[in-house]
Structure 1
Amino acid sequence: MDWIRWRDQVLESARLVVIKVGSAVLTSEQGLDLRVVNRLADQIAALHDQGRDVILVSSGAVAAGRGFLFTAGEQLSLPEKQAAAAVGQSRLMHSYDEAFERYNKVTAQILLTRDDLRSRHRFLNARNTFATLLESGVIPVVNENDTVVVRELKFGDNDLLASLLLNVVKADLFISLTTADGVYSGNPELDADAEKYACIQDIKDVDIRATCQGSTNSGSGGMHSKLLSARRASQLGVPTLIVSGKVPFVLEKVFAGHELGTWVMPEERAIPRRKYWLAYNLDPLGEVIVDAGARDALIMGGKSLLPIGVQAVQGCFEPGDLIRIVDPNGRELGLGLCNFSSEELTKICGCKSSDIDAILNTRIRHREAVHRDNLLLDAAH
């Protein structure tokens, strides 16, 4: 099937759409651009009238509030950004409420931190809340809780937040509205020969770091974080469209079949949602370096990681903690839940499974350092 037919099928069948809009699209030097907010609400309301559920992940709180507290161009500390977000978030949400009210649409504000999705219990609570809102015909507007979040619990940017939200709500389509008109083979500001991709069929083949250099001035992510989010979405089986939010009526044109932006196809086999949650909501607490044989067994054989293939252990972790798995050349292979503590794994690394009980002086039920059911290769970090 050619990609245009595939795209048309995606647009026709998508019932739950997550739309992320960045600060650089929503704001100007004067702050929040109400014209953009109103046009966005107009298009989302039209999608909602078609029977689609829409969740809007919206940046812009800090940009909307900073002009009331600080001078233009001033570099802000974390507390100052939080103060700006406190001022700007209410203004941002008020603008959305008024814009959507014109179309008799009800909105709901949801502010999240990484801790809300890191806890499995709170993750499931969030899923239930979104499901209830959508069943009631409400349009959720999501943002990071910048006012109270500490550095360790920040998503870093709303591109990451949006990609994690895809798993919470079981989305069918992810649309990222940015200032760029798509993804290029290089940075078009630095490379005159850079060409725009209409469709990326296998994002694993794209060297994201080399392709994307630089970020937008107003936002925090840039194209690099948008492509990482698209790669995460592809692992989950969700297609992504990266398109300019500056194009008038861009969502209306996209759903009418206009060739805009860059589409990213999902992987043929989506990973289990639990693996996705483990890899992207938890923080790795250590690292193991594996030999070439273990690397090949993981990548080509789909095997679990055994202690005999582990060459070295770094960091301090306990059984059940998330760790990075690195090959002999220092390339990260993936992430997984370790069955042993760092102290235990250090003692048995390089050893046969039959020797583990004697070395640890106990009888264990598992022989794998990381079972394949708790392992995600090619994690997009």
Structure 2
Amino acid sequence: MTRENPRKGLLQQAGRVLVKVGSAVLTREEGLNREAMIRLAGQLSRLHDRGMDIILVSSGAVAAGRKRMREAHNGQMPDMDDLPARQAASAVGQGRLMHDYDEAFGWFGKTTAQILITRDGLSDRHRFLNARNTLERLLSWGVIPIINENDTVAVQELEFGDNDTLAAMALGLAGADLFVNLTSADGVFDSNPDSNPDAKCLRIIEDISALDFETMCDGKTSVGSGGMYSKLRAAHRAAQLGVATLIVSGKGEFSIEQAFEDERHGTFILPVENTVSSKKFWLAYHEDPAGTLTVDAGAARALTEGGKSLLPAGIKKVDGCFPRGTLVQVVADGDMLGVGLSNYSSDELHSIAGKNSSEIAQTIGPVPFQEAIHRDNLLMDAAI
């Protein structure tokens, strides 16, 4: 891979590829698009034949379940506006989705495995590592794992929210070195092409952290829960892991192999130069921040320029109610600087915010640490 043509050589260099496919690619109005699934299976099987490990993160279970329930109710759609209904639809559709995948990959001599995960299940480091070991064993057997969120047991506050977010978390789980996000759009545009006919596709993004996602992304697809905003956020997270992302259309007669080499297809997003460890990545993204610490200008400079830990003296305001060890976000002047694990509860921070380190023990008693958030437990420029 070179900066002159960043895609060149990707197929030769990538050893493990994670592919995410969205509902807009896999489904049509009447349900799952089996032709699209077979086409995708053929594409991925050819990559697998070249010696690549393939992990697929797939949407489509809820759409498949809705279609089946429509059939069962003589064309009338049951009420599906709430979370339990969506979870029930997923329970109906998950088996149909995997049956069709198993059959599609079977045409090409491939074996698949279903992996259902929840955000809660990955929030425990031991369970996360156990899931990684299982995934590694499947890949060593030549199996193509198909990952989806276990919607039927996830509660709303512990959902990934969309499969783009799930795919980003799975990158750290799988140790992939390339991320392909198949969508209905031909890449990332500088504005929403649905509302701006003059929108231009960005064929390469060298610094994804410099993009204004809010301005660029003001639309979602109708059958999915993501939209381009979530795809860019997932690519930002992938970039922090040192993983390049290709966002490309998966509709019609697409070719992943051709998109790897041809710069006229999709958008290629380069990884950042200063990558983070998989452990810090997991720390920052295994759950949503439960609180917010607003810091002063001096603390902000120490964090962003000096690579320092956050001390209570630099905290101006504490929002939220949380115990010790909770993930919180750090902001300054309304801008989010990063996320990290708080060494103190919210009540303790209310008492010691703005105080020097020598005053902490006098205020709340002896403590084994002085930092509010240690640098080792802090990720700056987090894609939240």
Equivalent pair of 2:69/2:78 in contact (CA under 8 Å) = no
2:317 to 309, 312, 319: 312
The superposition leaves residues 96-147 of structure 1 with CA deviations (integer Å, 9 ceiling, x where unpaired) of 1111111111000111111111111110111000000000000001111122
- The 3-state SS of whatever aligns with 2:6 is helix
Are 1:356 and 2:360 counterparts?
Answer: yes
Q: For 1:316 and 1:111, how far apart are their aligned partners in 2?
A: 31
Letter in 2 for 1:243: V
Give the TM-score taking structure 1 as reference length. Answer: 0.95
Are 1:333 and 2:327 counterparts?
Answer: no
- The 3-state SS of whatever aligns with 1:288 is strand
Q: What does residue range 41-80 of structure 1 map to in structure 2 within 5 Å?
A: 41-70=41-70, 71=76, 75-80=80-85
Q: For 2:103 and 2:205, how far apart are their aligned partners in 1?
A: 37
How far the C-alpha of 1:196 sits from its partner, in A, is: 0.8
Q: Tell me the equivalent position of 1:232.
A: 237
How far the C-alpha of 1:7 sits from its partner, in A, is: 1.6
- The 3-state SS of whatever aligns with 2:325 is coil
Letter in 2 for 1:379: A
Q: What does residue range 269-280 of structure 1 map to in structure 2 within 5 Å?
A: 269-280=274-285
Q: For 2:261 and 2:200, how far apart are their aligned partners in 1?
A: 24
The superposition leaves residues 34-69 of structure 1 with CA deviations (integer Å, 9 ceiling, x where unpaired) of 100000001111000000000011100111121221
How far the C-alpha of 1:313 sits from its partner, in A, is: 1.5
Are 1:252 and 2:250 counterparts?
Answer: no
Q: Tell me the equivalent position of 1:176.
A: 181
How far the C-alpha of 1:87 sits from its partner, in A, is: 1.7
Q: Tell me the equivalent position of 1:346.
A: 350
Equivalent pair of 1:244/1:250 in contact (CA under 8 Å) = no
Q: For 1:38 and 1:73, how far apart are their aligned partners in 2?
A: 29
The superposition leaves residues 321-351 of structure 1 with CA deviations (integer Å, 9 ceiling, x where unpaired) of 2111111x22221111111222222222111
Q: For 1:75 and 1:4, how far apart are their aligned partners in 2?
A: 49
Q: What does residue range 150-161 of structure 1 map to in structure 2 within 5 Å?
A: 150-161=155-166
How far the C-alpha of 1:11 sits from its partner, in A, is: 3.1
Q: What does residue range 1-381 of structure 1 map to in structure 2 within 5 Å?
A: 3-70=3-70, 71=76, 75-257=80-262, 259-327=264-332, 329-362=333-366, 364-381=367-384
Letter in 2 for 1:263: F
Q: For 1:5 and 1:284, how far apart are their aligned partners in 2?
A: 38
Letter in 2 for 1:248: E
Q: Unaligned 5+ residue runs, structure 2?
A: 71-75
Give the TM-score taking structure 2 as reference length. Answer: 0.95
How far the C-alpha of 1:249 sits from its partner, in A, is: 3.4
CA RMSD, Structure 1 to Structure 2 (Å): 1.6
The superposition leaves residues 166-205 of structure 1 with CA deviations (integer Å, 9 ceiling, x where unpaired) of 0011100000000000101101121233211000000011
Q: For 1:9 and 1:355, how far apart are their aligned partners in 2?
A: 57
Q: Unaligned 5+ residue runs, structure 1?
A: none
- Number of residues paired by the alignment? 379
How far the C-alpha of 1:4 sits from its partner, in A, is: 4.8
Deviates more, 1:59-68 or 1:185-194: 185-194
Q: For 2:231 and 2:4, how far apart are their aligned partners in 1?
A: 22
Q: For 2:254 and 2:79, how far apart are their aligned partners in 1?
A: 33
- The 3-state SS of whatever aligns with 1:17 is strand
Q: For 1:294 and 1:201, how far apart are their aligned partners in 2?
A: 29
Equivalent pair of 2:61/2:97 in contact (CA under 8 Å) = yes
Q: For 2:349 and 2:79, how far apart are their aligned partners in 1?
A: 49
